[in-house]
Structure 1
Amino acid sequence: MASRGVPVFKFVGTVMLGLSTGLSYTLTTLTIPALLTLPSADAASRAFDAVTHNAKRKLRGLTSFASASFFAAYYLSPTRFRHPYLLYTSLLIGISQFSDLIVPYVFTKSAKVSSSSSSEAAAAKKRSQQKKRREERARMEASYEVLTSSVHSEGTPSVSDDDDLLAEQAEVNGEEVRAKVEAFLEKQLLEGGILLMSFAMAVVGIWGDGALGRAVYPKRY
């Protein structure tokens, strides 16, 4: 009786796997690269965080459901029709969730390290320059306290406020955002490739099940 639900698990798993593969492809080719065209690094960083958070949650749900469906189909199938492709598909879907651990071994690690180190060096240099400007502003304000107090009394915005505003705007570096986007694209490209391979294996396996069923039970077809 349990074997009657096997086709349902196969169908549901294939549909969920197709949806997760399509979502991964859309993220890699359309959504995430479009974030780099936003006018400011702050807007790109916020949009990237929001999109990746929602996408990871949805992908995790779809892939987990697909993997569980294929494993249930393998477990509930009769021994004679317990085909290994169901187990292999379930395992590949599970491996795709650990793509961040496989990325350094697939893509060029040296280029990735050099880009991240250069961005970190540029960010450190900018922070040191900002710190020097703040110290100079503080010394000037201490030397001309009477002058700054008169400027404040006239309602003119202080120089330190402008400097703090510039520092807050400079906290989000465009190179850092680009590095995060490129790292996510590499991870998503690998994950999408594994999901696509799993989807192709599932489709070929289900087609093979149908061909075997027609050969064993020709009167049913």
Structure 2
Amino acid sequence: MASRKVSALKFVGTVSLGLLTGTSYTLSSITVPSLLELPSASSAAKAFRNLTSTASTQLTSLASLSGSAFLLAFIISPRGFKHPYLLYTSLFCFSTRLSDYVTPSIFGAPVTSSSAAAQRRAEAQARKDKKAARRMEASYEDLGGSHSDEASSEEHEEDSNGEEVRSEVQFFVRNQLIQTALAGVGFAMAVVGIWGDGALGVSETLVIEF
């Protein structure tokens, strides 16, 4: 009974890890880079944030499922069948979520929209202060209208900054490449380990029959 549970957990863990590897690779090589081909930066940013929000949830679920399955299979396996590859594969599954901390240390953090927008607002405020000093005779209404126009222009610039979107996309792609590498190593280890378990079971059966 225990062997059936362990086999089922190995199967679930391997399938989930394979899906995790394939999804990360597809996101990094096909799906996300194609967003840069959209006609406007605002539409690319909106599509990118919607995609990454959904993808992050799915990737976390797959990593947790596969890692938990291999770890549980290692725990409930009989003493003579606690193969180390189950534990190592589980660690690789959980380590894929650490790429969010590893990627910035290797490639650097992306240009965030908040910092860039704050810098643009500070520069715009400095320009407005200079204009106000030169136009002390202007009326309050004129200043209010000018302020509204400038604020609208800044908001439009903030919403459609292509460099920020490109920086975020490139960072996400690099992050997914690291996740793909970690998940791929774990998946290969799981496949080889399961194949080894099957070969060992066949050899034991032949010895008993002989």
Give the Cα separation in 1 of the matches to 2:141 and 2:71.
Answer: 76
* Alpha-carbon spacing, 1:73–1:146, altered in 2? closer, same or farther (3 Å): closer
* Structure 1, unaligned runs of 5 or more: 149-157
Give the Cα separation in 2 of the matches to 1:89 and 1:194.
Answer: 10
Aligned-pair RMSD on alpha carbons?
3.0
Mean alpha-carbon deviation: is it higher for 96-105 or for 64-73?
96-105
* Alpha-carbon spacing, 1:166–1:79, altered in 2? closer, same or farther (3 Å): same
| Per-residue deviation, 1:188 | 1.3
Q: Within 5 A, what are the aligned runs for 1:1-221?
A: 1-105=1-105, 107=106, 109=107, 112=108, 116=111, 124=119, 126-135=120-129, 143-145=137-139, 160-172=147-159, 173-218=161-206
* Alpha-carbon spacing, 1:51–1:177, altered in 2? closer, same or farther (3 Å): same
Q: 1:58-92, CA deviations, whole angstroms, 9 ceiling, x for partnerless residues? A: 11111101111111211222222221111110011
* Structure 2, unaligned runs of 5 or more: none
Given that residues 89 and 201 in structure 1 are in contact (C-alpha distance below 8 angstroms), is that contact kept between their aligned partners in structure 2? yes
- Report how many aligned residue pairs link the two structures: 205
| Per-residue deviation, 1:178 | 1.7
Identity of aligned residues (%): 43
Give the Cα separation in 1 of the matches to 2:189 and 2:140.
Answer: 78
Give the Cα separation in 1 of the matches to 2:137 and 2:130.
Answer: 11
Mean alpha-carbon deviation: is it higher for 4-13 or for 127-136?
127-136
Secondary structure (helix, strand or coil) at the match of 2:70 reads helix
TM-score (norm 2): 0.83
Q: 1:77-132, CA deviations, whole angstroms, 9 ceiling, x for partnerless residues? A: 22222211111100111111111222245x3x5xx36x859xx67973x4344324
TM-score (norm 1): 0.79
